[in-house]
Structure 1
Amino acid sequence: MLIVNGFEAVPPEAKGAVLALGNFDGVHRGHQFLIGAAQKEAKRIGRPAGVLLFEPHPREFFSPDELHFHLTPRDEKLAVLDEIGLDLAVVLPFDAALAGLDAGRFIEEILVGALAVAHVVVGYHFFFGKNRTGSAETLRAAGAAHGFGVTVVEPVADRGEPFSSTAIRLLLAEGDVRGAAKALGRQWRVRGPVIGGAQRGTDLGFPTANVAMPKGTALGHGIFAVRVKLDGKSLEGAAYLGTRPTFDDGMPVLEVFLFDFDEKIYGRTIEVSFVDKVRGDRKFASAEELVRQMEADCAKAREILAAEPR
């Protein structure tokens, strides 16, 4: 997938495409339907299919002091879009200049002037331009004037509930990773380098690979059955996210115990996919009691993973 950063120097092969427009945080099933509509139209007219997205999320630009839970940070989002089979991703830096661009100039300077779009696909609730004055109807009128097509996609729902990034964040905040996976169309995952820890897991007989969660992540605390990718290798394990109330109530760190694995992997990057929650976090009366529970947790995680197709 070709990635174009900004619109000042767009390569020829990125022009004349069919682009789905949006933020696509999570690239959930609703987003995938929108992207699928762009791919279908691109195939029909013989053009590349891609997305145009904004980084950082506009909410992060307008409220920089607030923590924002990104379901898919930039690199993860681009990886998922590549897996979907897109030809192109145009990433526009959302800064003061872009925020100040009105809807008309956004269309003329970016969609028409820089990208020469053949067709755009948007959701029914898509707004753009300064003060969010541009809408799907604005695009339809501009398309008629400038010669590009416009498809507006209605909400995509499961049993009456539209798929949304906000709803998925709420599921994850409750620790419902299985429910989040259903809405995402894949298991929610995080990626990061393995960092050093207090070695408490090693002392208890459960050495863990610790990963700092992305800033703003709000996953409900507890034990999870997980699958892990390391240098192309697929592994399984049990992961803990919490404050370690039995010991220190410290800062949350994701601690992953990999089954049947004993390599030292500090500094190497792993990808952790959350399959299901085993239990919530709680304090234990002693380290011995915690170890007994950890043994039961790992057995339950193995049982979950054995029943879950890869």
Structure 2
Amino acid sequence: MKITRDIEQLSPGLNPVMTIGNFDGVHLGHQALLNEVVTKAQRVGGESVVLTFDPHPLAVIAPQLQLQFLTTFDEKLSLFEQAGIAHVICLEFSTQLAEISPDAFVRDILKEHIGVRELCVGKTFRFGKDRAGTIGDLTRLGPEMGFQVTPILPVQNAGEIVSSSTIRKRIQEGRVSEAMRFLGRDYTIGGVVQQGEQNGSAMGYPTANLPLPDDRVIPPNGVYATIATVDDTPHQSVSYIGTRPTFHGTERLLEVHIFDMESDLYGKHMTVGFSEQVRGDMVFSNATDLARQIKDDVRHARQALGTHAET
């Protein structure tokens, strides 16, 4: 997959079929849109293109907001590639870009630099200064600029439109299994395993500790059935998010206990996929009571993940 970050290096491509957006989460709705782009590009012997932005436009337009995302930019690129996209054009979003009128955006970027043949976007797509441009404007400008506009209907799950905001809400409420049905995969958080206080090891449940990123949507404190991926190998696991109140902790972090694994993971990158919430956070009077609860958590997590081996 080709990645272009400098618009000035672009010249009109061969029959580009493209879409535009931020694509946070690359959820089932986004995936349907990307699939349409790839299919149409193959049909005309053209190039499938995604035009996206980095940083997120809201980070520039409303820097006071504490933005939290479903995916990192690198994760989005990986998901675009998995969807079969041939070319990602990433524009650096700036105050200057935010001032471009809808007509100028279509003329200067879509026509002059990209040479788009067909543009696939959702019916609620907005673009240009103050998000003033609509799909109606694209339909009006398309014939003048030599490209076709194809509106794409939203994807629904159980009667609800799949959207990034809906998924964020599900995750923030701990409903990670519902979020999975909107994403088409587990919601994941990644990081480098750090040295911990060894409380888990002392109880017979060693954990890998990960810091929680400020710019990601984080499930509420509690215990989850998870899939931890290390060195491209997935492992069933049970994970805890919280401050460890039983041990009077203050820092909120992610602790991961991988089933049937004793390897030293310090310094390794781990990705944790959240499959199901097991329980909320609890305070225990002593480590013995906590260890007893962890044993029960492991049993529930194994069942949730489809394994029933006893610990």
Please confirm whether the aligned pair reaches a TM-score higher than 0.5, indicating the same fold.
Answer: yes
For the Cα contact (< 8 Å) 1:16–1:115, is it kept in 2? no
For the Cα contact (< 8 Å) 2:11–2:113, is it kept in 1? no
Amino acid at match of 1:145: E
CA distance in 1, matches of 2:107, 2:248: 57
For 1:34, the equivalent position in structure 2 comes to: 33
With the length of structure 2 as denominator, give the TM-score of the two structures: 0.93
CA distance in 2, matches of 1:133, 1:61: 17
Q: Gaps spanning 5+ residues in structure 2: where?
A: none
RMSD: 1.7
The residue correspondences of 1:194-273 to structure 2 (distance < 5 A) are: 194-216=193-215, 217-273=217-273
CA distance in 2, matches of 1:83, 1:155: 21
Classify the secondary structure of the residue corresponding to 2:218.
coil
Moved more, 191-200 or 123-132: 191-200
The residue correspondences of 1:1-310 to structure 2 (distance < 5 A) are: 1-10=1-10, 16-216=15-215, 217-306=217-306
Change (3 A) 1:153 1:219: same
Classify the secondary structure of the residue corresponding to 1:34.
helix
- Provide, for residues 271-304 of structure 1, a one-character-per-residue CA deviation record: whole Å limited to 9, x for no partner: 1111111111111121110010011111111122
After TM superposition, give the deviation of residue 52 of structure 1 in Å. 1.0
After TM superposition, give the deviation of residue 29 of structure 1 in Å. 1.1
Change (3 A) 1:121 1:307: farther
CA distance in 2, matches of 1:232, 1:160: 35
After TM superposition, give the deviation of residue 158 of structure 1 in Å. 2.1
With the length of structure 1 as denominator, give the TM-score of the two structures: 0.94
After TM superposition, give the deviation of residue 181 of structure 1 in Å. 0.3
Percent identity for Structure 1 against Structure 2: 37
- Provide, for residues 197-227 of structure 1, a one-character-per-residue CA deviation record: whole Å limited to 9, x for no partner: 2222223222211122222333122111111
After TM superposition, give the deviation of residue 165 of structure 1 in Å. 0.6
Amino acid at match of 2:144: A
Classify the secondary structure of the residue corresponding to 1:59.
helix
- Provide, for residues 234-256 of structure 1, a one-character-per-residue CA deviation record: whole Å limited to 9, x for no partner: 21111111121212241211111
CA distance in 2, matches of 1:123, 1:245: 45
Amino acid at match of 2:304: I
Change (3 A) 1:162 1:235: same
CA distance in 2, matches of 1:127, 1:260: 50
For the Cα contact (< 8 Å) 2:15–2:45, is it kept in 1? no
Q: Gaps spanning 5+ residues in structure 1: where?
A: none
After TM superposition, give the deviation of residue 160 of structure 1 in Å. 2.6
Classify the secondary structure of the residue corresponding to 1:271.
strand
For the Cα contact (< 8 Å) 2:237–2:259, is it kept in 1? yes
CA distance in 1, matches of 2:39, 2:119: 12
